[in-house]
A and B are shown apart, each in its own frame.
Chain A
């Protein structure tokens, strides 16, 4: 127990506190004194009288103690009343902290922590989702408006930026896309051979790898790479511009951020992602071939023939369409999250993470929708899948 213990006596349902040290408390002494007084504050105590003799507004440690005490009194519905308040500035300091010199808690600065109910949390969540959706819809409107502007004013488009992003997000991504898809093809082939061989169907590994890669995994793997490389970079780049007021500067120069920042990035990704998807598809097929030929005993030529036979033009169109759809999703989400960045140090990190997570979610949902609707559309127009 520390040396500076204050006096506290209960008299007529009132707790009298005196002997607050002029020289202040150490941090530990605040805790010790509070622990000593806290049990005495109960619902039976109507008033807590605090003697402020010789205490000035510069006794910061005593002020910390008084704030703690005031909060405790509020929790027990007791009034805290200050006596012998000699320093005028101490009164105003207490007021600015939300405590009237009479002891009433005036402002909402010291707010009672409310327990949030499940309904409240659910309501807040729905409200946030609605807000997100509203922002998303507004942003899509801006992007469509900007796209319309460039259709009528193609010369205003910044082709240098488009080429820059095509190079950065396309050319630079080729090695990683090739490697990932090659390995995925290899893994799919290895796993399926083990299963198909049981029924003696291991010759079908070529069909399986080709269809899985071209229809599903090729576009998805490329999307994952592009989310990591392009989507997050878009969010971080635009977010940093937001924090350094560059977006505000653009707006007050009458320049639409959607026009200058979003459209070039979007066009670049829409152009390069189908190309990367093609490269990924080919790499995956090679991966399957690299393990399928030695393990199943079919010849290289036969493997290639089976692959080509199973890949119809409709399948290739599906792969490329997915590439384009995913490109739009990644660019829009990356740029939207960048523009939504909050103006603080955490903002950019938060928007980058959010861009990646939202993009992955939306890409998977889009993949699901396209996979199920594409055969129906082909049926409607009479093309075999």
Chain B
């Protein structure tokens, strides 16, 4: 759980984002502490995935700054950005595994690119990473031969290849059945407790949010900003915003 003593690993300052002239979200300010599971929440089309793509440096914001470990990912050179990319891993919505490679080769890509390790050592690390996500024995399968949930786990193994301290997830539970989704949640909690990773997750899954989140921010496309911030369990009961209470309370309607 969140502790005030923990250092801030990601800090977003006055961030305004959008596409061309269209402003999607403006003047966003939030920070993410070390070891926190931080969830970005909001209705469809409010800019959740877009904000994630800004956090990982794929898009350039209209204005504002994003600091990762006190280094700006917005105002840095391409070389500096390449170095910063090694500090975090990303699991994409579609898992984004390289379809021409096997799972083991996929996981080995960042290791081959950024380390001077021998092929034997890389093979060992790859096997370990795949076993960490429960994919032992699937090393030589290609992405087209495995299920959606397994793809997500393989993507997670690849994201963790360089032992990053920060992991970003874009809708990790999307397209998964409830059991696979719950398994993925358990895996994330396990990884956090064993590796101490900070996790930033964009999701819609309320069950997941109440299971894993330390802190959420809720975005709203009408006000183009953050309408709530805090522990989702508390927000569900105490939020002053009716829409937020309704949004978070849907899990009760299901149960």
List residues of chain A with CB under 8 Å of any chain B CB. 241, 244-246, 248-249, 251-255
Contact = CB atoms under 8 A, between A and B. Distances in A.
- Interface bracket on B: 20 to 34
A72 to B, nearest CB: 27
A254 B88 CA distance: 10
Interface string B93-116: 110111100000000011001100
B56 A252 contact: yes
Secondary structure dominating the interface of A: helix
Given A246-B99, A249-B90, A249-B96, 16 more contacts: A245-B93, A245-B96, A246-B97, A246-B98, A248-B53, A249-B92, A249-B98, A251-B58, A252-B56, A252-B58, A253-B110, A254-B81, A254-B83, A254-B110, A255-B109, A255-B110
Contacts of B85: 251-254
A246 B96 contact: yes
B82 interface: yes
Nearest to A256: B82
Nearest to B88: A252
Nearest to A259: B113
15 contacts: A241-B99, A244-B96, A244-B99, A245-B94, A246-B97, A246-B99, A248-B90, A248-B96, A251-B85, A252-B56, A252-B58, A252-B85, A252-B90, A253-B109, A254-B113
Given A244-B99, A246-B98, A246-B99, A254 B92 contact: no
B57 A252 contact: yes
Of A244, A246, A248, A253, most B-chain CB atoms within 10 Å: A253
B86 interface: yes
Nearest to B222: A96
Contacts of B81: 254
Contacts of B83: 254
A249 B110 CA distance: 11
Contacts of B110: 253-255
A248 B98 contact: no
Nearest to A244: B94
A255 B82 CA distance: 8
Contacts of B56: 252
A251 B82 CA distance: 8
B58 A248 contact: yes
A255 B56 CA distance: 14
A294 to B, nearest CB: 50
Contacts of A254: 81-83, 85-86, 110, 113-114
A167 to B, nearest CB: 15
Nearest to B90: A252
Q: Report the 3 A-B pairs with minimum CB-CB distance, sorted nearest first.
A: A254-B85, A245-B96, A249-B96
A254 B113 CA distance: 9
Which of A244, A251, A254 has its CB near the most chain B CB atoms (within 10 A)? Answer: A254
Most buried by B among A244, A249, A251, A255: A249
A249 B53 CA distance: 11
Contacts of B57: 252
A108 to B, nearest CB: 11
Contacts of A246: 96-99
Nearest to A156: B113
A176 to B, nearest CB: 25
Nearest to A253: B110
Contacts of A255: 109-110, 113
Contacts of B92: 245, 248-249
A255 B93 CA distance: 19
A55 to B, nearest CB: 24
Contacts of B109: 253, 255
Nearest to B161: A253
Contacts of A244: 94, 96, 99
B212 to A, nearest CB: 22
A253 B113 contact: yes
Contacts of A253: 85, 109-110, 113
B151 to A, nearest CB: 11
Interface string B148-189: 000000000010000000000000000000000000000000
Contacts of A241: 98-99
A241 B143 CA distance: 13
Interface in B37-75: 53, 56-58
B157 to A, nearest CB: 13
Nearest to B83: A254
A251 B109 CA distance: 12
Interface string B211-247: 0000000000000000000000000000000000000
A255 B78 CA distance: 11
A253 B109 CA distance: 9
Contacts of B53: 248
A322 to B, nearest CB: 32
